[in-house]
Structure 1
Amino acid sequence: MKEISCKLLVIGAGPGGYICAIRAGQLGVDTVIVEAGKPGGTCLNVGCIPSKALIHAAEEFEKVAHMAGGKSPLGISVTAPVLDLARTVAWKDGIVSRLNSGVAGLLKKAGVKTVQGWATFRDGKTVEVETETGSQVIRAETIVIATGSAPVELSFLPFGGPVISSTEALALSEVPKKLAVVGGGYIGLELGMAFAKMGAEVTVVEALPRVLAQYDAELTRPVVKRLAALGIEVMTGAKAKGLSTKGDALLVETSDGKSGKVAADKILVTVGRKPVTEGWGLEQIDLDRAGKFIRTDDQCRTSMRGVFAIGDVTGEPMLAHRAMAQGEMVAEIVAGHKRSWDKRSIPAVCFTDPELVTAG
């Protein structure tokens, strides 16, 4: 079994992890980063970047479809457009692949050693990584946990078949004729609106009294108006109950207690994300938790000396740029600089149509 030692070990090469490793490398810290998948994490591979690419394609398609209907005030008319979603997804994959290479290149340029594989803690200073060529043990003075988050799965609507998460939604080869979206938060509405623009018949099922409940009602009114203009049916105060026997509809219970069905080829479940705290040996190091998340202070230190945690695994808001800011700060602390983390005015953008922007 091979062994290597380093000053800083970063587990997870998402926005928090790779920024932390690059900054540490730039500051002359001997750094190793471990990643089981492709560099870039959720944001680059199955989140922010691919979803914005798909949203952009949907907007372009809607513009042309608008012209085809003879509704363009500019007098432009075209024949009815056709969308080849498989080609759109291939274009999106090309963007992601290019950025994957960019991240890998930046890590290399900063002198960071990348180990491909799944890391498991042995103790607070040592991890074992299962790589393609066998086990590798890494000992480090300081460890940064940046394992990120994953979509929440509902026990009565497990992923598989017609039930998909945002990850599968970004890789469909054709636009579903009927799409049911479970959860009216930002992920559900961003993707729901995009698919509606591409020609899907979309129904949003939200248990709370209104969609985008984490935003001010005043701010969300223009979005609700646009949902109606796009022909998206919004069912608020409605609970998803499961899949129909034939698998062609979502079973729902409306606010008045009545049962109903929403016909759907695909059911997109977007009810939030959970921290990835299992499968990498958290029980070996026994860190304090804040609910499901790892508890950290204003320097992202955990309850164990020499172990930091950044990004989605540390709680809300689960935003790439928050993880990046934390990663940069931790790298500078490890290099001996004085830094702390202020979360009071983190900006956030919801990429619906129109977009919503908040800070603080």
Structure 2
Amino acid sequence: MKEISCKLLIIGAGPGGYVCAIRAGQLGVDTVIVEFGKPGGTCLNVGCIPSKALIHAAEEFAKIAQIAGGKDLLGIAVAQPTLDLTKTVAWKDGIVSRLNSGVAGLLKKAKVKTVQGWATVRDGKTVEVETETGSQVIRAEAVVIATGSVPVELPFLPFGGPVISSTEALALSEVPKTLAVVGGGYIGLELGMAFAKMGSHVTVVEALPRVLTQYDAELTRPVLKRLGELGVEVMPGAKAKGLSTQGQAGKGDALLVETADGKNAKIAADRVLVTVGRKPLTEGWGLEQIDLDMVGKFIRIDDQCRTSMRGIYAIGDVTGEPMLAHRAMAQGEMVAEIVAGHKRSWDKRAIPAICFTDPELVTAGLSPDEAKTLVGEVKIGQFPFAANGRAMTKQGEDGFVRIVARADNHLVLGIQAVGQGVSELAAAFGLALEMGARLEDIAGTIHAHPTQGEGFQEAALKALGHALHI
């Protein structure tokens, strides 16, 4: 059995793990990273990146189909388009492959040793890895657990056949004629809207009273409007019960549902996409051997990502919400610097979150209700994209930018937006909160014209009582 020793061992090469490894390597730390699959983890391989590629392809197809149907006002005429999903998926896979190679190259550049295989923890300093060439033991001074998360499986709708997770949805060879989405969170609606644009008849089954419950109703209103325009049927307060048949996919399967009024219904479904959340990957790699303190299903950490065992750190989805790649990356970078002897701690005012529906949603910091609960009186400024020239030229008038600030000193506590392409405003929102901006700081910053970013400035002006363009 081969044995190697290092200063830092990282289990998992997802966004948190590989960033931790690269930064540690840059700082001269002898680092080994273990990954069972391809570098990049869920986000790069079967999550963030491939889903955005599919969403973009669906948007482009929908635009052309709309023009072909004579519903466009731009003076463009085209023939009726067709979609070859196999080629679309191949294009998506090409992007993923390039990024896989990029991550592998960055690890090599940072002099990080990569071990391909499944890691099992023996104790707080020792890990055994099953590789293609046999077992390898790795001993380390410090260990980072970055095992990520996996889709939640429903016992009455186990994955297989017509029942798929987001992973299988991103690799389909053809667009299903009927698609039932169980779970009306951001993953379900992102993919559900994409397939609706590609031609599927989509039904969303959500057990809660409304979809996208992590956002306030005002923010999600433009998304609900767009769902109706796409012909997506939303069933709030409904509970999925199982399949009426267990035949082959696309051969007469139907999703059994209990509606909000207690009635039973059947929904035709060539495919059933289950998106009811993700859970931390805490099984199968030896967590029981080190007996770490937990918070529910997650590993408990402090503000330096230290666990209850000295020398063991945990980052990313395995440590709890928010399960976001950029949170894991920030944690990974911090841990690498701590291991290298730098003084660092987790001191983040806000972690922006994006929902890539149509239109997109962005939140950073506190919502209006959260801010009122925390500080009492607040000032809220909201600017509609219907009054923004750039949004109008992009046919993206639905939506707005909203700023929430303290009433007494105008310190910005939260920023939200909904609209076409607003994901790109997330950086500005996060920066404003991290820098402790006040309404006057944002209002006094010159924003380029014509851009949707002007809505950010106008929202601040509105909160101050003197918006210019509404």
What are the equivalent positions in structure 2 for 1:135-154 lying under 5 Å apart? 135-154=135-154
| Contact 1:288 1:294 survives alignment (8 Å) | yes
Q: CA deviation at 1:255?
A: 1.3
Q: Aligned partners of 1:255 and 1:17: how far apart in 2? A: 43
Deviations 1:35-80 (A, max 9, x none): 0000000000000000000000000000110111012212222111
8 Å contact 1:249–1:262 — kept in the other structure?
yes
What is the deviation of 1:203? 0.3
Local SS of the residue matching 1:322: helix
What code does the residue aligned with 1:157 have?
A: L
Question: Which residue in the other structure is 1:181 paired with?
Answer: 181
What TM-score do the two structures reach when normalised by structure 1? 0.99
Map of 2:242 onto structure 1: 242
Whichever residue aligns with residue 39 of structure 2, its letter is P
Q: 1:263 maps to which residue?
A: 268
Match of 1:307, as an amino acid?
Answer: I
**1:77 match:** 77
Aligned to 2:167, the other structure's residue is in SS state helix
- 1:313 and 2:318 correspond: yes
Structure 2 runs not aligned, ≥5 long: 248-252, 366-470
Q: TM-score, normalised by structure 2?
A: 0.76
Q: Which structure 1 segments of 5+ residues have no match?
A: none
For the pair 1:300 / 2:300, whether they are aligned, the reply is no
Change (3 A) 1:246 1:119: closer
For residue 245 of structure 1, report the CA deviation from its aligned partner.
2.4
Equivalent-residue separation in structure 1 for 2:70 and 2:130 (angstroms): 59
Determine helix, strand or coil for the equivalent of 1:155: coil
**Matches of 2:309 and 2:358, distance apart in 1:** 44
In structure 2, C-alpha distance between the alignment counterparts of 1:343 and 1:252, rounded to whole Å = 42
SS state at 1:39 partner: coil
Cα distance in 2 for residues equivalent to 1:311 and 1:45: 16
Structure 1 match to 2:368: none
The one-letter code of the counterpart of 1:102 is G
* Residue pair 1:288, 1:303 contacting (<8 A) in 2 also: yes
SS of corresponding position for 1:28: coil
Partners of 1:344 and 1:235 lie apart in 2 by 36
How do 1:265-304 and structure 2 match up within 5 A?
Answer: 265-304=270-309
2:191, 2:355 → 1: CA distance?
11
Q: Which residue of 2 aligns with 1:65?
A: 65
Q: CA deviation at 1:342?
A: 2.6
Range 340-349 or range 170-179, more displaced? 340-349
Work out the CA distance in 2 between the residues paired with 1:246 and 1:284. Answer: 39
Does the 8 A contact of 1:70 with 1:76 survive in 2?
no
User: 1:70-103: CA deviations, max 9, x gaps?
Assistant: 1221222211100000000000000000000000
Deviation at 1:162, TM superposition (A): 0.2
Paired AA for residue 88 in structure 2: T
Q: What letter matches 1:30 in structure 2?
A: D
Letter matched to residue 245 of structure 2: T
Q: Indicate the SS of the match to 1:130.
A: strand
Partner AA of 1:253 in structure 2 = E
Structure-2 separation of matches of 1:69 and 1:354: 21
Q: Distance in 2 between matches of 1:302 and 1:72?
A: 56
Contact kept? 1:242, 1:252, Cα under 8 Å = yes
SS state at 1:312 partner: helix
Counterpart CA distance in 1 for 2:305 and 2:243 is: 41
Alignment partner, residue 339 of structure 2? 334
CA–CA distance in structure 2, aligned partners of residues 140 and 317 of structure 1: 29
Aligned to 1:228: 228
Partner deviation per Cα, 1:169-199 (whole Å, 9 max, x = no partner): 0000000000000000000000000000001
- Any idea what the Cα deviations from partners look like across 1:196-247, whole Å, max 9, x if unmatched? 0001000000000000001111100100010001000000000000011255
Structure 2 CA distance for aligned equivalents of residues 70 and 207 of structure 1: 38
Give, in whole Å, the separation in 2 of the partners of 1:250 and 1:228: 21
Alignment length, in residue pairs?
360
Paired with 1:71 and 1:327, the residues of 2 have a C-alpha distance of 48
Cα distance in 2 for partners of 1:331, 1:74 equals: 52
Structure 1 residue 218 corresponds to structure 2 residue 223: no
Conserved in 2, the CA contact under 8 Å of 1:69 and 1:77?
no
Shift of 1:346: 0.5
Distance 1:342 1:285 in 2: 28
Contact preservation (8 Å) 1:210, 1:237:
yes
Q: Aligned residue for 1:97?
A: 97
